[in-house]
Structure 1
Amino acid sequence: MFVINCGGVVVNQTNYWNPNDAPFWESKGKRIANRNLWISICNLLTAFSVWQIWSILSLQLIDAGFNYSTDQVYMLTAIPALTGAMVRFFYSIGVTYLGGKTWTFLSSIILLVPVLGVGWALTNTNTPYSIMVILAALCGLGGGNFASSMASIGTFFPRERQGAALGINGGLGNLGVSLAQFIIPIVITIPIFGVLGGAPQTIDTGNGTMSVWLQNGAFIWAIPIVVFSLLALFGMDNLPLEKPKLSSQLKVFQRKHMYLMTILYIMSFGSFIGYSAAFPLLLKGEFPHISTIQLVFLGPLLGAIGRPVGGYLADKFGGAKVSLLDVCIMVIGILGIIFFVQEGTKSFLGFFLSFLLLFASGGIANGSIFTMFPIIFGPMESPAAIGLASAIGAFGGFFIPSIFGWSIEATGNVSLALSIFVVYYVLCAVVIWYYYSRKNAEIQVDLKK
């Protein structure tokens, strides 16, 4: 039996937690699980916002007087993705030993270091680039929180509800990308912290000059970090579950399906985070005469909303079926983008709507693919599998913008990069169909759907 207090779950000698036990779930488990889910969402949303602050701040560094090259500015956008990818595997395993409450508190409160550091660095246009690189890397710690959060939350819910729960957790957490891209352009134009926020920078708008406080784009996240970290400390629980041995979790490296699922996760989450980083630059490059900075958040918003939808649909119809359909829709979105960037058919509206379709379908695929992990790997290996797949998938935040940049440099446009993505998505569709969806597939993910 559980007794709830402000510090978490206290168990008696039975040390019992089984959400698949219907009486236990209805009487106690559901309340505990939902409380932990919503606190996790708050912390994950903030972590994603910190992870992606450079996607907006980098756009105005040079205009604000920082003596950095264009390549250096792009690198500041890419570095957090690399850091987030590298730490995700360790975060997913670490949470299984310390517990959801302890890990969420520690991994959230540490984000104060990069946001205060970035804010301080942006108050001085003479800040060395090396300092900015270190701070950008520390922002990447926010990306690691996703793996630990997803590995933790799934254990709170019964099997038939895990897809929806993980979809809601990941989807609303992913909203942090959209939130950052919506809020930062607003707060940097207002001296909301007064003298405590430091002096503004001056930028040339083409029609004159204006003052901006770029540091506000970092300082603004300190408040939710503190609030939600404390909420985790006093409101979340460390479940009384058996601690999996590291050796048992590392067995996933011997599984063929670990690498197949990693390919699929790159297709879903890698696309989401990569396009989120590249979308502002692509809009600015393809349609420089149109002011789009207040529109870029819509793509990540649809992707984040699509994730819980994908989890729900996967619970209802099967993760493989939903994922296969969505990757086909993603191909349609890419083909639309290719069509609307060509001379003669170039259209901002067509380009923008095709990208929104790509974001939405990718978000749904992200949620549906995630539900396949517990079925394929089981409870002991799933945390490590999720950590490895999400770590490699997060590299999409670095490689997708890089491929776009390479395509522009080599050919003068983005069509080559988009064609590469089409081929990759078709490969992913074949993998889903052959290994998980067809009648004689090796693993019948949708057998009971």
Structure 2
Amino acid sequence: MTVSIKRWEPENPIFWLSRGRGIARRNLWLSIFSLHLNFNIWMMWSMVVVNLPAVGFLISSQQQFLLVSIPPLVGALMRLIYSWIWSWVGGGLWLGLSTLLLLLPAWGVGAVVTDISSPFWQLLLVAGLCGIGGGASASHLSNTSFFFPSSEKGLAMGLNAGFGNLGASVAQLLIPLCILFPLFGGWAGEPQVWGRGGDVHFVWLQNAAYLWLPAILLIALACLLYAHDLPKLRITPRDQLDAMKDAHTWYICLLYMGSYGTFLGFAAAFPLLARSMFPLVDASPYLFVGPMVCALSRPLGGWMGDRVGGGIATVISNLAMALGTVGAYLSLPASGDGGSFWLFLAMFQLIFFAAGVGNGSSYQLAPKVFLILAGREAQRLGTDPRLAYLRGGRRGASAMNVSSVLAAFGGFVIPKAFGSSLNWFGGVLPAFAMFFAFYLLCTAVAWWQYSRPQAALRC
């Protein structure tokens, strides 16, 4: 089972260099692999849903957008539990147990998609099960932050989240390929007939889920054998409620929602949006690119936060997302104009890249801001700096948890906004206008609170 650690002092240079760094890096990599799998499961559903009508499921476009919005919604709700339970169970043990939970959606989706007569409520149920994968960030990143000294938190969390988020891209890359072949023989069930226009062929849609089963078992075992449990922190819902009383928790929530919510929402909505806006273009070869760009740029955001300041990097990222939103809308077909798919694709890559930078830069604000506040309080009151560090770390972790929970709702809001906009207004202008206004609001908050020269917490 996991190893329990009684003493952990990452800010002590001697302890860190002699013992702490190796342990921290081992747990970072285990967390990365586990989080990667969680994102594989969380995002595989969007790739399954886009194929359901072609294999015979009778669902409308509005129902498709609803189905891809359910996993992010459930994932956000799961984070309410994941954000504190790891501190009671133990971070390493929870890595293993939470990875094993992914067996439920992997098995459930594989079973349901083989029967085109499955009722819509069953599709909603397995969509909800995929949301289990969305809870992991709230526990993995908070746990990782305690392993590293403050000078390395941004990069460590950027690597953890970046390579973890890469699971969304890997799922969108592998699933279109793996469903074309009988990878598991008769064990996985019969193929389905996929048809769209004159293109008709067999697919094994259940492979999209069964593909992950061996990796889930392997990574869960590795976490249970080699991960470490830090001294129990016992974070509680009360700690999160206390953090919610501080205005900076809400500022950071807003900024993280703007970047992480963008990543989740557009990763889920892009396959359906591309098909709706450009029905004559096969966008499937490009679906994985955006989430991959976002995941790979997240460590850059964490590094920028450590070097040039999280506030400045977050301002830049939100301005870029606002620009990309305008460009994406201008690329769409209009009356007498077929639009430009390549401009549409390029603008979404800009949005994904900027969202990745913003993910890394805004999320690492929480531990830094609350450590600064705790240090100032200790200096003012003359209390023990070590106790102030523990208190600040605890408050920072709670603020990160709250931010992670609320930001995940962006994954629900964005695809739902596109679906509702198409249904109510016959176009996506209202949805894009809402996103543009939100990015400008995030820019203003990041500038005023954390990046202008006179900001009290410029960091």
Corresponding residue number in structure 2 for 1:196? 187
1:143 aligned onto 2:134: yes
Segments of structure 2 that go 5 or more residues without pairing to the other structure are: 371-391
Asked whether the 8 Å contact 1:17–1:241 carries over to 2, the reply is no
Asked whether the 8 Å contact 2:239–2:398 carries over to 1, the reply is no
1:350 to 343, 351, 357: 343
1:180 aligned onto 2:171: yes
CA deviation after TM superposition for structure 1 residue 382, in Å: 2.3
Asked whether the 8 Å contact 2:449–2:455 carries over to 1, the reply is yes
1:128 aligned onto 2:119: yes
2:327 to 336, 340, 346: 336
What is the alpha-carbon distance in structure 1 between the residues aligned to residue 266 and residue 236 of structure 2?
36
1:437 to 451, 454, 458: 451
Paired amino acid for 1:429:
T
Deviates more, 1:68-77 or 1:287-296: 68-77
Deviates more, 1:265-274 or 1:412-421: 412-421
Asked whether the 8 Å contact 1:201–1:212 carries over to 2, the reply is yes
Asked whether the 8 Å contact 1:95–1:151 carries over to 2, the reply is no
- Which deviations, in whole Å up to 9, do the C-alpha atoms of 1:249-282 show, x marking residues without a partner? 4301211222222111110100110010111112
Segments of structure 1 that go 5 or more residues without pairing to the other structure are: 1-6
- Which deviations, in whole Å up to 9, do the C-alpha atoms of 1:33-72 show, x marking residues without a partner? 1111111111100001101111110012122122334433
CA deviation after TM superposition for structure 1 residue 244, in Å: 4.2
Deviates more, 1:40-49 or 1:18-27: 18-27
Query: Are residues 193 and 258 of structure 1, via their aligned partners in 2, closer, same or farther at CA, if it must alter by over 3 Å?
Result: same
- Percent identical pairs in the alignment equals 37
1:28 to 7, 19, 37: 19
2:431 to 407, 417, 425: 417
Asked whether the 8 Å contact 1:93–1:383 carries over to 2, the reply is no
Corresponding residue number in structure 1 for 2:270? 279
CA deviation after TM superposition for structure 1 residue 372, in Å: 0.3
SS in 1 for 2:201: strand
1:9 to 3, 16, 21: 3
CA deviation after TM superposition for structure 1 residue 20, in Å: 1.1
Asked whether the 8 Å contact 2:2–2:93 carries over to 1, the reply is no
CA deviation after TM superposition for structure 1 residue 358, in Å: 0.7
The TM-score with structure 1 as length reference comes to 0.93
Paired amino acid for 2:346:
L
Paired amino acid for 2:420:
W
CA deviation after TM superposition for structure 1 residue 10, in Å: 5.0
1:387 aligned onto 2:401: yes
SS in 2 for 1:60: coil
Corresponding residue number in structure 2 for 1:3? none
What is the CA RMSD across the aligned residues, in angstroms?
Answer: 1.6
What is the alpha-carbon distance in structure 2 between the residues aligned to residue 259 and residue 301 of structure 1?
28
- Which deviations, in whole Å up to 9, do the C-alpha atoms of 1:122-161 show, x marking residues without a partner? 2222223222222211110100001100010011111100
SS in 1 for 2:284: coil
Corresponding residue number in structure 1 for 2:373? none
What is the alpha-carbon distance in structure 1 between the residues aligned to residue 405 and residue 4 of structure 2?
33
CA deviation after TM superposition for structure 1 residue 87, in Å: 1.2
What is the alpha-carbon distance in structure 2 between the residues aligned to residue 28 and residue 141 of structure 1?
34
Could you list the runs of 4 or more consecutive aligned residues of structure 1 that deviate by over 6 angstroms after TM superposition? none
